[in-house]
Amino acid sequence: MALRRYTTSIDGTIPVPALLYDDEEHLASQDGVGIYDGLQKAPDYQTGSVHVSTHRLFFVHSQNPTSYSFTMDLLHVTRTNYYAGLFKSSPKVSLFLDASTALPLTTTSGQRTEIFESWECEVCSHRNPPGLSPAAARICALCGVPRSASAVSTASETSSQIQSLFSSIPESSYTSISSSSSPGPPSPPSTNDDSDGIACPACTFLNHPSLRVCEICTTLLPNIEHAGNMRAKSAPSTRPVSPISDSIDPANLLIKLSFRKGGDKPFYNVLRRALRSRAWEGKRIGHNARSGPSGLAITNPNYGPTPVAMRPSGIDGIMRNVEASAYVTQTDLNDALKDLEGLMMKAKDLVHLAGELNEKLTASSTITTTSTLASPFPTTSSPSTPGTQLSSPFSATTLVPSTEPEEAKFIRSSLAQLGLQMSNAPVTLDMIRDERRWVEELARELAGMLQGFPDDIPGQKSVGIMKDRGIVGLDEVWGGWNRARGVALIPPSTFLQVLPHLPAYTSPPIRSRVFNSGLSVLHIPPYTHASFTARIVGYLAMSGVMTTSQIAREENITIGLADEMIAAIEADGVICRDDERSAIKGGGSGTTSEVRWSRNLFLEYIWDGQL
Amino acid sequence: MALSTHTTPSGFLLPSIHSAPPFFTEQPNQSTHAHLTEKWMRLILAYARHKRLFVLRVEDAEVPGGEWDEILRNERINRRILPPYLSSLMAIMVAKNLAVYEPSKQTRAVLLYWRLPEEWADVLHSWATATGQLNTILTFYEISDPPIQSPLSGIPIPLLRRAITILSRSNRAQIIGVADGEGVRFFVG
């Protein structure tokens, strides 16, 4: 009897934590528990586990969790009694229930879904998320204003909900309200006796019983009919739908938990704490969720009904809410950053370690190879002295003096796979404190990129970006370099700073050159202006006239580049152009014409025509 | 490429530079450009003197078949001067007082000064003296289109007027209005 009046069926296959509201906290569990409905054993609920949360009591049947599991709101519990057990009688906890808060028989999961909806506060337009407990869901999370009366009342008010809403109202008026029948909006009488459909209160359209809003005008349909319909559908079949007499014996209004496998005392303590904290009244929403069960300890000691107004509302509430959430975010962020810093420290150590290992490997490979045959391994770093080798942490391993090249290679490749290869690791500013040295190191690295590291792969000459070319665009170099670095990319400004240092580290020296158009290139000496001019003049002396594309082919450079270089020579007046557009017949038209170059012999021209 | 001079059907000796294709292209290099421009002006004036041409138009470079074809085009090397280049040449000539826009307030035709107006004035006065026409009134047409071929045959009226104006400044001529236009009387200078 009491069981049916106060509990709702749940699907016990779902883990209890997943059934909790967002602001609900799971407190304790105990298995091997049977249920007494009133003074009698409830035959279907004899083996299972009970869970208590801040809001509810859960019973999950151990054999048949789908059918015989239920949940009960703690707000029904008026007082508790503890029985320690005697001989074969197990310890029991009696929960005396409040007659006035009994759920109407129609209450089912259908109503539950009503609560699990997001809704928009009419005052501050805050979109409240679903998943809060019924009490919390009735108040806007941001501004603390109760959800609008119309929206709530349509949801077929149960007396339990009223109880929590009006808990601050004096007892007399409270009982008078709750003892009266459902105070929902007066539904049109026609809808009650019409089982075929629900008449829309706005347009009178007869909607299908399962609809919740009018099909025609989307007005919210009265829910009493709806809930009644749901009862027929979802009430557990094990419960015979029988007329219930309204007269309930208050002595029978109790549920007993029989602890067959012990654990009764701790559970009872937790249960009492949960009852005392009255979390379902929503007075500490938002704090409970974070502070956890320990927050129960600081509960209001006097059990008197706490006014709902204790929860901050209005502008003050909004401000406090925002401040609190900002504080939490800040704390979380700080923690995360601290972790990250720690990680970076570790990473630095790791890189350092890899560098050391690499150095040892280089040193040892030099030693072994020089001792056996003429070294095919050119080395970058000078071999470290034996003293430092002995003091190094790696001297104990077999790597150092006796390392075979294969092993060294293996270790190096492993390092490379870890991203810790040091021989061509990009130079970064934190490696070098001094700005000037940093630029010089970059120049050294860039020189290697351009001309290939001579000792990159032993026995194999590597080619850099320049390859066989003598001249290359600055954009290509910058892009290629940064792609090779992969990390700590070089900004163009730094790149330009590095360029003047380049000739010192390259052989033949690579210099930069900026053309009139703004195009910048890096080139080796044969591509300076003077030597290029000399070469072009040589070509023209031989063949007389050359087009730009012919020169580009001859020089193995791009046409655009050839154009720039020839333009520079033309600016000197050494050569002159013949535009094909001047042709009488044929010739190019517009932009497709080609320019033919010839030496400028006109400066020495002496008039030999008619005077 | 061997550049050589060439004699046109009209008997004009073209300079060897006229056979160089770059000569027909406007050079971006300033000094080269100035050099070639100077050669072009010399060529144009020499040819104008040779053929007694007084007017050069941009159309002469645009449309073949004119009397300037022998220098503005070179069929042997398949090159011609482009109108924009000729136009810029004309502007330079005007700036150097080697030509004047005629009529003024346009830039598509110039009156070439292969003799400067001062030189024309001297020629005019010596012609009048030589033909014994001092102190007689002559119409402009009698000067520009005389019965006997003279150095002044075909001289454009605007150029003739400039020459007479120069003479009248030194009191060697006087412009007189006559019935059918204007006349001039020359005095002993």
Position A329 scores a pLDDT of: 93
The answer to the question of residue A245 being in a domain is no
| A543 interfacial to chain B (CB closer than 8 Å) | no
A68/A99 same-domain check = yes
Position A453 scores a pLDDT of: 63
Span A415-441, average pLDDT:
64
- Give the closest residue to A178 by CA, choosing from A317, A323, A76, A51: A76
> Among all residues of chain A, which has the CA nearest to that of B2?
A544
| A586 interfacial to chain B (CB closer than 8 Å) | yes
The answer to the question of residue A594 being in a domain is yes
pLDDT band at B113 (very low <50, low <70, confident <90, very high): very high
Alpha-carbon dihedral angle through residues A249, A251, A255, A259, given to the nearest 10 degrees = -150
The answer to the question of residue A331 being in a domain is no
A115/A93 same-domain check = no
pLDDT band at A413 (very low <50, low <70, confident <90, very high): low
DSSP three-state, residue A551? helix
> Among all residues of chain B, which has the CA nearest to that of A542?
B1
A444/A583 same-domain check = yes
The answer to the question of residue A396 being in a domain is yes
Q: Measured between alpha carbons, how far is A133 from A164 in angstroms, rounded to an integer? A: 12
Tell me how many domains chain B contains.
2
CATH code for the domain in which residue A258 is found: 2.30.29.30
Tell me how many domains chain A contains.
4
Q: Measured between alpha carbons, how far is A209 from A195 in angstroms, rounded to an integer? A: 8
**A contacts of B31 (beta carbons < 8 Å):** 573, 603
Question: What residues make up the domain containing A358?
Answer: 342-417
Name the minimum distance, in Å, from the CA of B83 to any CA of chain A. 10
B95/B168 same-domain check = no
pLDDT above 80: residue B181: no
A100/A117 same-domain check = no
pLDDT above 90: residue A494: no
- Residue where a domain stops, chosen among B79, B112, B145: B112
The backbone torsions φ and ψ at residue A502, rounded to the nearest 5 degrees and listed phi first, read -60, -45
**A contacts of B50 (beta carbons < 8 Å):** 610
**B contacts of A581 (beta carbons < 8 Å):** 82
pLDDT band at B45 (very low <50, low <70, confident <90, very high): very high
CATH code for the domain in which residue B82 is found: 1.10.10.570
Block residue for tokens 């655009």: A560
A11/A44 same-domain check = yes
pLDDT band at A311 (very low <50, low <70, confident <90, very high): low
The number of C-beta contacts closer than 8 angstroms across A and B is: 93
B93/B18 same-domain check = yes
- Give the closest residue to A453 by CA, choosing from A422, A430, A475, A476: A422
pLDDT above 90: residue B43: yes
The answer to the question of residue B181 being in a domain is yes
- Residue where a domain stops, chosen among B112, B142, B166: B112
Span A215-235, average pLDDT:
60
Nearest to B80 among A570, A584, A609 (CB): A584
The answer to the question of residue A242 being in a domain is no
The residue of B78, B81, B82, B89 whose CB has the most chain A CBs within 10 angstroms, and thus the best one to mutate to test that interface, is: B78
How many C-beta atoms lie closer than 10 Å to residue A338's C-beta?
10
**A contacts of B18 (beta carbons < 8 Å):** 609
**A contacts of B32 (beta carbons < 8 Å):** 573, 576, 600, 602-603
B143/B65 same-domain check = no
A204/A263 same-domain check = no
Least confident range of A100-114, A374-388, B142-156:
A374-388
Least confident range of A3-12, A453-462, A475-484, A579-588:
A453-462
Position A227 scores a pLDDT of: 44
Name the minimum distance, in Å, from the CA of A601 to any CA of chain B. 9
**B contacts of A571 (beta carbons < 8 Å):** 29
pLDDT above 90: residue A215: no
pLDDT above 60: residue B129: yes
A84/A117 same-domain check = no
B69/B40 same-domain check = yes
**B contacts of A576 (beta carbons < 8 Å):** 22, 25, 27, 29, 32
Position A316 scores a pLDDT of: 82
Name the minimum distance, in Å, from the CA of B10 to any CA of chain A. 12
Q: What angle do CA A383, A386, A392 make, to 5 degrees?
A: 95
Name the minimum distance, in Å, from the CA of B177 to any CA of chain A. 40
CB A200 within 8 A of CB A221: yes
pLDDT above 90: residue A330: yes
Answer yes or no: do A609 and B13 touch at CB < 8 A.
Answer: yes
Nearest to B78 among A584, A610, A611 (CB): A584
B132/B170 same-domain check = yes
| A593 interfacial to chain B (CB closer than 8 Å) | no
B103/B22 same-domain check = yes
pLDDT band at A302 (very low <50, low <70, confident <90, very high): very low
B129/B182 same-domain check = yes
Question: Exposure pattern of A276-290 as b/e (b: 16+ CB <10 Å)?
Answer: ebbbbbbbbbbebbe
Which structure tokens are listed for A217?
Answer: 């005008």
Nearest to B35 among A579, A596, A603 (CB): A603
Question: Exposure pattern of A235-254 as b/e (b: 16+ CB <10 Å)?
Answer: beeeeeeeeeeeebeeeebb
**B contacts of A569 (beta carbons < 8 Å):** none
CB A2 within 8 A of CB A37: yes
Which structure tokens are listed for A221?
Answer: 């349909």
pLDDT above 80: residue A521: yes
As beta bridge partners, residue A260 has: none
Answer yes or no: do B5 and A545 touch at CB < 8 A.
Answer: no
Nearest to A573 among B20, B25, B31 (CB): B31
Strand arrangement of the beta sheet that strand B137-139 belongs to: B137-139, B181-186, B173-178
A206/A222 same-domain check = yes
Torsion sign, CA atoms A216, A219, A222, A223? positive
Q: Is B175 exposed, middle or buried (0-12, 13-18, 19+ CB in 10 A)?
A: middle
The answer to the question of residue B28 being in a domain is yes
**A contacts of B22 (beta carbons < 8 Å):** 576-578, 598, 600, 602
CATH code for the domain in which residue A457 is found: 1.10.10.10
**A contacts of B12 (beta carbons < 8 Å):** 610
B77/B156 same-domain check = no
Assembly ipTM = 0.81
Q: Measured between alpha carbons, how far is A584 from A573 in angstroms, rounded to an integer? A: 26
> Among all residues of chain B, which has the CA nearest to that of A543?
B1
Span A256-278, average pLDDT:
84
The answer to the question of residue B1 being in a domain is no
| CA A155 to each of CA A113, A148, A191, A350: distance values in angstroms, whole numbers, following the listed order | 10, 12, 16, 62
CB A60 within 8 A of CB A49: yes
Q: What percent of chain A has pLDDT over 90?
A: 3
> Among all residues of chain B, which has the CA nearest to that of A569?
B29
In this structure, what DSSP letter does residue A83 have? E
Nearest to B82 among A582, A585, A610 (CB): A582
> Among all residues of chain B, which has the CA nearest to that of A579?
B25
Position A18 scores a pLDDT of: 79
Least confident range of A4-13, A439-448, B53-62, B155-164:
A4-13
Interfacial residues of B (vs A; Cβ cutoff 8 Å):
1, 5, 12-18, 20-29, 31-32, 35-36, 39, 42-43, 46-47, 50, 73, 75, 78-82
CB A97 within 8 A of CB A76: yes
pLDDT band at A488 (very low <50, low <70, confident <90, very high): confident
- Give the closest residue to A52 by CA, choosing from A238, A277, A260, A252: A277
pLDDT band at A157 (very low <50, low <70, confident <90, very high): very low
Rg (CA), chain B: 19
The answer to the question of residue B176 being in a domain is yes
Answer yes or no: do B50 and A610 touch at CB < 8 A.
Answer: yes
A480/A539 same-domain check = yes
Which structure tokens are listed for A32?
Answer: 């091997």
The residue of A574, A575, A579, A606 whose CB has the most chain B CBs within 10 angstroms, and thus the best one to mutate to test that interface, is: A579
The answer to the question of residue B101 being in a domain is yes
B21/B89 same-domain check = yes
Name the minimum distance, in Å, from the CA of B134 to any CA of chain A. 33
**A contacts of B16 (beta carbons < 8 Å):** 605, 608-609
A599/A466 same-domain check = yes
B121/B98 same-domain check = no
Position A56 scores a pLDDT of: 83
pLDDT above 70: residue A292: no
pLDDT in tens, A545-574: 888 888 888 888 888 888 888 988 988 888
CATH code for the domain in which residue B130 is found: 1.10.10.10
| A589 interfacial to chain B (CB closer than 8 Å) | no
**pLDDT mean across residues, chain A:** 71
**A contacts of B21 (beta carbons < 8 Å):** 545, 578, 582, 596, 598
> Among all residues of chain A, which has the CA nearest to that of B45?
A611
| More confident: A341 or A211 | A341
Q: Which of A14-23, A444-453, B108-117 shows the highest mean pLDDT?
A: B108-117
Position A250 scores a pLDDT of: 61
B155/B90 same-domain check = no
Span B35-45, average pLDDT:
92
| A606 interfacial to chain B (CB closer than 8 Å) | no
pLDDT above 90: residue B92: yes
pLDDT band at B86 (very low <50, low <70, confident <90, very high): very high
Answer yes or no: do A610 and B46 touch at CB < 8 A.
Answer: yes
pTM for the predicted model, two decimal places:
0.47
Position A285 scores a pLDDT of: 44
Position A606 scores a pLDDT of: 85
The answer to the question of residue A330 being in a domain is no
pLDDT above 80: residue A298: no
Position A432 scores a pLDDT of: 61
A95/A117 same-domain check = no
The answer to the question of residue A609 being in a domain is no
Nearest to B78 among A585, A598, A600 (CB): A585
B167/B82 same-domain check = no
Answer yes or no: do A600 and B5 touch at CB < 8 A.
Answer: no
Answer yes or no: do A596 and B17 touch at CB < 8 A.
Answer: no
Amino acid sitting at position B130: A
Q: Which of A86-95, A366-375, A418-427 shows the highest mean pLDDT?
A: A86-95
pLDDT above 60: residue A373: no
Position A496 scores a pLDDT of: 87
In this structure, what DSSP letter does residue B4 have? -
A262/A278 same-domain check = yes
- Residue where a domain stops, chosen among B87, B112, B137: B112
CB A511 within 8 A of CB A498: no
pLDDT above 90: residue B112: yes
Question: What residues make up the domain containing B30?
Answer: 6-112
| A484 interfacial to chain B (CB closer than 8 Å) | no
Q: Measured between alpha carbons, how far is A297 from A313 in angstroms, rounded to an integer? A: 25
**pLDDT mean across residues, chain B:** 89
Span B48-66, average pLDDT:
89
